[in-house]
A and B are shown apart, each in its own frame.
Chain A
Amino acid sequence: MTHSPILIFGYGNPSRGDDALGPELLRLLEQGPEAGLCDMVTDFQLQIEHAMDLEGRELVLFVDASVAALPPYEFSRLQPVRDDSFTTHALSPAAVLSVLGQISKAAPPAVYLLTIPGYDFGLGRPITEPAAAHLEQACVLGKKLLAIPDQEVWEGYCGR
């Protein structure tokens, strides 16, 4: 199965309030003209097998809700980290990248993380108003990233 060198991976539970921010951003991006240039994947949470989704890619963007991110969003480059995120059943994206390094000898992709602040993660709850506002701004950045899928350009957005 062939796949695009660019992967956008949004994760979170669509029925748990602001946890839906990652998948929701992908849903919005899918409606844009640039969507066909990349592969888009969603899941509830990250696990070890997702390292295989990273194989053969050049650019990867993870999108997630975060209780720690500053509004309206944070965007950063990830390095493979043995972050030992064993306090959770879900791996961090940096740990997934680290798993890739352990199971594949190919050069890893450049991986970025877009985190959007979330406030309410209750089952059956809608996305909160503040989070929706952050999502809107994050979507603007997402569209810019998709418009020019170039590592140098993406680096320029880091830290914003």
Chain B
Amino acid sequence: MTKNNTDIEDLETAQDPAGLRRVEIEPVTRVEGHGKVTLLLDEDNQVKQARLHITEFRGFEKFIQGRPYWEMPVLVQRLCGICPVSHHLAAAKAVDQLVGVEQLTPTAEKVRRLMHLGQVLQSHALHFFHLSSPDLLFGYDDAVAHRNIIGVLADHPDLAKQGVLLRKYGQEVIRVTAGKRVHGNSAIPGGVNKAVSPEERDYLLGDIEQIIQWGQGALALAKKLIFQELEYNRNFALIDTNMLSICREDGALDLYHGGLRARTPDGTLIFDQVDYRNYGDYIHEQVKSWSYMKFPYLRSLGQSDGSYRVGPLARINNCDYIDTPLAEAARVEFRAFADGGLVQSTLAYHWARMVELLYCAEGIKRLLLDPDITGTELKVRGEMRNKGVGVIEAPRGTLFHHYEIDDDGLVTRANLIVSTTNNNRAMNQSIRQVAADYLNGRELTEPMLNQIEVAIRAYDPCLSCATHALGKMPLELELVDADGAVVDRIYKNGRGEVGEG
């Protein structure tokens, strides 16, 4: 099912912003980090402009430059407290190239893959059970104080506990493979510094059947919630975009390694099995004056048509099959939802995410049963080079790490395109669609504004913010008239108490 986006593109920039009311949603809740939405409304509450601003931290390169290349896999974990393993592995893949390694030992590659599946499993579990299930379970107009994980725990204790335990299991996979719970250091230039011991393998195998079973349950729930209000959920924040991900050479879903693949909204291949080291030939980043975050697009299609989505929705749409049986059956059912094309419903991200969670659980079991993960050949080396590009499918989508070093091994240039940046255009299109469909001409209410947040949360954006200091994140909505005067205000404090005035 597709939808024409032409009308919502007009909402990126109001033709005549003078005299419009400004509404801010800051910060957007239950996304990773800081986000802000601004709406400009005319006197009849018609939305004239809708933008998602992300105060993305753009100091990555400065933080990295001048440091020795071998520090990268450990150092970059400090960029983000949410998915440090993804940065760890993307950096390790880039550094492999710097030390001239094209192929890891089977043990090294499989230990890294195991770590990555643990990361994606725990991240997807957190997002579905913690951040998004309150919307899906309780509805978008549920009492704001109830619409959160505590409400889930109270009303669905078994479900919520499964979310906690799935998350914990993924963390344990990371601990075993990365060497530590946080700040793991096992991925090193050209390999890993530890394999999985037989005791560790048996420890993780002890719970894996339960994890797979819970994964099946989570998938069934996600699907049920989508079908519960089918037409609404199918059309909510619906936009047509291209899809980008890496895919294995034979077209299988692969989160760790592969070539770049992109499809048009109707599923036609734009390119396939592109060597990701040449990503700059295929992806460009546009700068817009009103956003700190860049807007990547597919170069061959140009800025206006080159918007794309990454993450679970793109990956499950893009791949030809999944090489684990339960997830493959789920993928087939998921693709049938589109009736021939690509699944473009924004809320289908939740469904695709649970297909991937099940894939991760099955994949973890397969790797744990592979004798290579307890092997002893951990590292290889080659001839040093001065450029390395590492790409990985992080929980939220395709993540690029690109480093260049001098003859002393110090980083002279770094470029990172994080998953959320890849989704920047699409997230903006989605909120404009919601604004056009649900907000136009109506008095704004908290549940209505929450619909905008629901659309953003579907992407599970990570705003690379590991700073959380207590008391920093209240939510304020302000209505400001054309003269800048505040005409209305709604707030939530750090304890979730809602007030006005």
Contact = CB atoms under 8 A, between A and B. Distances in A.
Given A102-B160, A124-B59, A86 B468 contact: no
A41 interface: yes
Interface in B344-369: none
Contacts of B150: 82, 84, 95, 98-99, 102
Given A48-B167, A124-B62, A88 B473 contact: yes
A28 interface: no
A42 B164 contact: no
A13 B78 contact: yes
Interface string B101-128: 0000000000000000000001000100
Contacts of A64: 469-470
A42 B81 CA distance: 12
Contacts of B62: 124
B456 to A, nearest CB: 13
B30 A44 contact: no
A16 B466 contact: yes
B182 A123 contact: no
B495 A49 contact: no
B311 interface: no
A23 B57 CA distance: 22
A84 B468 contact: no
Given A67-B469, A95-B150, A123-B59, A89 B32 contact: yes
Contacts of A14: 78, 183
B466 A44 contact: yes
Interface string A14-51: 11101100000000000000000000011111011101
B471 A84 contact: no
A116 to B, nearest CB: 10
A48 to B, nearest CB: 5
Interface string A57-78: 0000000111111000000000
Interface in B27-63: 27, 29-33, 57, 59, 62-63
A106 interface: no
Nearest to B158: A103
Contacts of A66: 469-471
B27 to A, nearest CB: 7
Interface string B440-484: 000000000000000000000000001111111111000000000
B30 A89 contact: yes
Interface in B127-181: 129-131, 134, 145, 147-150, 153-154, 157, 160-161, 163-164, 167-168, 171, 181
B204 to A, nearest CB: 14
Interface residues of B, number: 53
Given A66-B470, A83-B494, A123 B149 contact: no
A87 interface: yes
B494 A85 contact: yes
B472 A67 contact: yes
A84 B475 CA distance: 12
A86 B79 contact: no
B198 interface: no
B215 interface: no
Interface string B364-392: 00000000000000000000000000000
A86 B495 contact: no
Interface string A87-118: 11110100100110011000000000001001
Nearest to B463: A89
Contact of A67 (B82, B164, B470, B475): B470
A14 B467 CA distance: 10
Q: How large is the interface on A (under 10, 10 to 19, 20 to 34, 35 or more residues)?
A: 35 or more
Contact of A121 (B134, B163, B467, B475): B467
B182 A43 contact: yes
Contacts of B84: 44
B81 A92 contact: no
Contacts of B325: none
A13 B145 CA distance: 29
Nearest to B180: A42
B474 A87 contact: yes
A125 to B, nearest CB: 10
B19 interface: no
A92 B27 CA distance: 17
A52 B466 contact: no
Given A16-B466, A48-B130, A118-B469, A89 B33 contact: yes
A86 B434 CA distance: 22
Contacts of A123: 57, 59, 63, 78-79
B496 interface: yes
B467 A19 contact: yes
Contacts of B474: 87
Interface of A: 11-16, 18-19, 41-45, 47-49, 51-52, 64-69, 81-90, 92, 95, 98-99, 102-103, 115, 118, 121-124
List the 5 closest pairs (A to B, CB-CB), nearest first.
Answer: A84-B496, A44-B81, A15-B78, A68-B471, A86-B148
12 contacts: A12-B468, A15-B78, A19-B467, A43-B182, A44-B466, A49-B168, A64-B470, A68-B470, A86-B29, A87-B27, A102-B160, A103-B161
Given A16-B467, A19-B466, A49-B168, 4 more contacts: A16-B78, A47-B126, A48-B129, A103-B153
